[in-house]
Amino acid sequence: MNYFISTLLEGEMASDFATKVLPVLRYVLFAIIIASAIVMIITTIMQSTDNNNGMDAFTGVKQESYYAQNKGASRDSILKRITIAMAVIILVCILTFFITELIAGIK
């Protein structure tokens, strides 16, 4: 794999790419990671907590309200989707960040 990357980035293009593009790309990725982490923390804090701690299974109480039936369109489900999206963005950016570190290390 390293041989493939090094042959791909040979010569003048490799030095320009490794010295000019990769540092800027790493700064951009780092900024995206920080922004996504802040959004993820905020959305996690904004989600409501379930205080019955699973006691519904023991008591047999079942909520069949309109809110419970349409939980997919509720505020909590939207916040949950945003949290998952931010986690995926953070994962992809971190992997890309370390791949750029590997490419810069080959030079």
Q: Where are the domains of the chain?
A: 2-47+61-106
Tens digit of each residue's pLDDT (9 = 90 or more) over 37-71: 999 999 999 987 765 555 555 666 666 665 555 66
Q: Check: pTM over 0.75? Answer yes or no.
A: no
What span, in angstroms and rounded, lies between the C-alpha atoms of 71 and 56?
17
Whether the CB-CB separation of 100 and 29 falls below 8 Å is answered with: yes
Q: What is the mean pLDDT of residues 4-31?
A: 72
Cα radius of gyration rounded to whole Å, the chain: 23
Q: What is the mean pLDDT of residues 29-35?
A: 96
